[in-house]
Structure 1
Amino acid sequence: MSAKPIEAGTGGGTGTLPVSSRSRLAQLWSEMKRHKVSYLFLAPFLLLFFIFIIVPILTSITLSFSYYNILEAPRFIGFSNYKLLFVDDDIFMQAVGITLKFAFITGPVGYVMAFLLAWLISQIPIKYRFFYTLCFYTPSITSATAMSVVWLYMFAGDRKGMLNHWLIRIGLLDEPFLYLQDIRTIVPVIIIVSLWMSMGVGFLAFLAGLQNVPKDLYEAGEIDGIRNRWQQLFYITVPSVKPQLLFGAIMQVVSSLQVFDVSVQLVGLPSPLYAGHTILTHLFDYAFIRFEMGYASAIAVVLFLLMMGLNRLIFNLLGRD
C-alpha cells in the first residue's frame, strides 16, 4: 500500500512527495537550490564551524571511550574512563565541587556587576564613557600572567605583601598570613581575582545594548508614572536589553566553568592539597602532563555536558521571549 501524498514545499512552491526520509532530503535539496545564494554566504561559517567545533567535539567523544597516550593507537575500552572518573578519581570529584562553587559565586556576582557597571557608565556624559569603559574592560584583556604579578604582590605570604603589611600595621594580624597556601583562602582569592577580570565581552554587550534603548520609552515611562532611575531600570531598561542579558549570561557561565589560568598562576599546579583544583586544571593535568588523552577527553565531555546543561537552563530562564 503506497504512502499517502502530502503537500510539500515552502513559500510559493507546491508539489506532492511521499512521507519518507527520502522525500524530505529531496525537499531539503530543492530548498537549498532555491536559496543557493544564501547558502553560499553561509558556507564559510558552516565550514569553519564544522571543522573547528563539530569535528573536535565528535573526536573528543570518540576518544573518551578509548585508551590513548599519543604514542600508541587508540584502544577501545568502553566506559572504563567514565567509571574511573566518577567512582575512583576523588580529585576529579573535588575539582567538580570547587568548579561549581566557583561558578555559582562568580557567575551571578560577575553578571550583576557587569550589568550594573555598564548601566552606571551609560548614565554619565558620552565624552567620559570611553575612559571608564577602558578602565573596567582592560583587566579582562590582560593576560593572567601579567595580572598575577599584581595579585601575587597583594596576597604575598610575607611582611612585604601589601595585604599583610597593612593588616599588621593596623593591628589586625600579628604575623603574616599565607593566603595562597592556606586551603581556606585559596578559593576566595581566586574568586576575587576572577571577578576583577570578569568585565569582558558580556560587559561590552550590556553597554552597547543600554546605549541603544530608545529614548522615547523613557519619556513614555515618565508619562505613565515612573519617577526615578531604579524604576526606569526595572520596568524599561531590563526588558529592552533581554538579548544582551541572555548573551552575557551565557558568556559568564562559560568563563566561570573554564577557570584555569588564574588558578595556576596564583596557587600553582597542583595547588596545595588540590584546594584550587578545577575541572579544566584536571583536564590539563591528564592531557598535557600525563598525556592520557582518552581520560582527558572523558573529562572534556563531562565539562561540555555541564556547560550545555547550564546554558539550557539560562535559555529557559531568559530566552523564553
Structure 2
Amino acid sequence: MTATATSFGARLLGPQRRNLWFWVFVGPFAIGLGLFTYVPLVWSVYLSFFDAHNTVSPKATDFVGLGNYGAMLADDAFLASLGTFLLFTVFIVPATYVVSLALALMVNRLRFAQAFFRSVFFLPTACSYVVAALIWKLSIFNGVRFGLANTVLGLFGADQTGWLSTTDPPWYWLVIVTVRLWLQAGFYMILFLAGLQRISPQLYEAAAVDGARPGWQVFRYITFPQLRATSVAVVLLLVINAFQAFDEFYNLLSDARGYPPYARPPLVYLYYTALGQEQNLGLGSAGAVILALIIAVATVVQARWFGLGRKGED
C-alpha cells in the first residue's frame, strides 16, 4: 500500500517534481471547487429522491423515488416559472445580441481612445447585480414622482407609472430587461470585438476590389458571416445566463410583503420551494435537477443546430 501511494505521488508530481508548483497553485482551487460545487451538486441529486422536509440528511424510509420529479412536472407554478424564463429569453437574448454587436462595431471603428470606450462599456460588468437592481428600483424606475423615469415623463405631461407593480401593461419587463442589458452588454461586446479583430483585412480589400459598398453590404457579406462562431457562443451563453436569472428578479420585485405572483423565474420559484415555509428541499432539489437538464439539452440542441465545433469551424 505504501509503495502504491508513493508511486501515485511520484506520477502526480511528475519527473523531478516539476508539477509541484502547479498543484500548489491549482490545488486549493480544485479542493474548493470540489467541496463547494461538485459535492453540493451530487447531494442535490441525492436529495431529489427523498421526502426531505427541513433536512439535508433524510432517512432511508423517506425515499420517494421519482415522486418529487412527477410533482414538479405537474406543478402549474413551476411550469409557469419556465414560461417566465422563455419570455425573459425572448426579450433579453436578441436585445443583448444586437446592442453588444453594435457597440463592438462602433468601438472597433474608432481611430482614437478605443481602449477608453472599451473600458467604459465593459465597466458595468463589474457591478453587482444586487446593487444595479436596487439602483434601477429606487432611483430610475421608482414608482413615485422622484424616480428618474417618472420625472422625464412628467416633463412631457405624462402620468406617473408604477413600473414594478403595473401588470397591465406589464411595465416591470422594461425594468428587468434594461438592468440585465446594462449589466451584460459590455461583456459580450468584448467577445464580438475579439471576433472582429480576427477577421483578415484582406477580405475587406478583396470586397472593395469587387465593388462592394462600405457599410451594410460589407457587413452582411463579410463581417457577419465571419462572426458566426462568436455569434453561436454568445447566443449559448445568453440563453444559459437567462436560465440562471435570480438576482434582478428577486431584488426588483420582492418587498416586505414577499414576492408577487407574477414574473417568477425558475430559480426564484425554487428558492421559495426549498427555503420557504415548507422547506421542502427534496422537491426543490428535483426542480433544480430538472432545470439543469433543460439547460444541458437546450445547450446541446443549439450547438448542434448552429454546428458549433464541427470540423472546419473556426
Pick the TM interval, shorter chain: 0.7 to 0.9
Alignment check: 8 A CA contact 1:186 1:275 kept: no
Matched, 1:65 2:42: no
Q: Secondary structure at the match of 2:113?
A: helix
Q: Distance in 2 between matches of 1:315 and 1:50?
A: 26
Give CA deviations for 1:173-224 in whole Å, capped at 9, x if unaligned. Answer: 1xx3211112222233212221222215332111112122221121122223
Shift of 1:142: 0.4
Q: Which has the larger radius of gyration?
A: 1
Task: Give the equivalent residue in structure 2 for 1:215.
Answer: 201
Change (3 A) 1:62 1:278: same
Change (3 A) 1:259 1:209: same
Change (3 A) 1:169 1:219: closer
Q: Percent identity?
A: 28
Q: Distance in 2 between matches of 1:59 and 1:225?
A: 62
Alignment check: 8 A CA contact 1:114 1:203 kept: yes
Q: 2:114 aligns with which of 119, 123, 129?
A: 129
Q: 1:312 aligns with which of 300, 304, 310?
A: 300
Give CA deviations for 1:46-98 in whole Å, capped at 9, x if unaligned. Answer: x67993766554433332222223364253211221222122x3322221111
Q: 2:269 aligns with which of 282, 286, 290?
A: 282
Task: Give the equivalent residue in structure 2 for 1:6.
Answer: none
Q: 2:290 aligns with which of 289, 302, 312?
A: 302
Matched, 1:120 2:106: yes
Task: Give the equivalent residue in structure 1 for 2:6.
Answer: none
Change (3 A) 1:145 1:58: closer
The amino acid that maps onto 1:98 is T
The amino acid that maps onto 2:124 is P
Task: Give the equivalent residue in structure 2 for 1:238.
Answer: 224
Task: Give the equivalent residue in structure 1 for 2:174.
Answer: 188
Task: Give the equivalent residue in structure 1 for 2:183.
Answer: 197
Q: Secondary structure at the match of 1:198?
A: helix
The amino acid that maps onto 1:131 is F
Matched, 1:103 2:118: no
Matched, 1:84 2:71: yes
Give the TM-score, by structure 2 length: 0.78
Alignment check: 8 A CA contact 1:92 1:279 kept: yes
Q: Distance in 1 between matches of 2:79 and 2:228?
A: 35
Shift of 1:101: 0.4
RMSD: 2.9
Q: Distance in 2 between matches of 1:84 and 1:95?
A: 15
Q: Secondary structure at the match of 2:184?
A: coil
User: Which structure 1 segments of 5+ residues have no match?
Assistant: 1-32
Alignment check: 8 A CA contact 1:65 1:77 kept: yes
Shift of 1:281: 0.8
Q: Distance in 2 between matches of 1:224 and 1:54?
A: 55
Alignment check: 8 A CA contact 2:140 2:148 kept: yes
Shift of 1:150: 2.7
Change (3 A) 1:242 1:57: farther
Alignment check: 8 A CA contact 2:136 2:175 kept: no
Q: Secondary structure at the match of 1:199?
A: helix
Shift of 1:149: 3.5
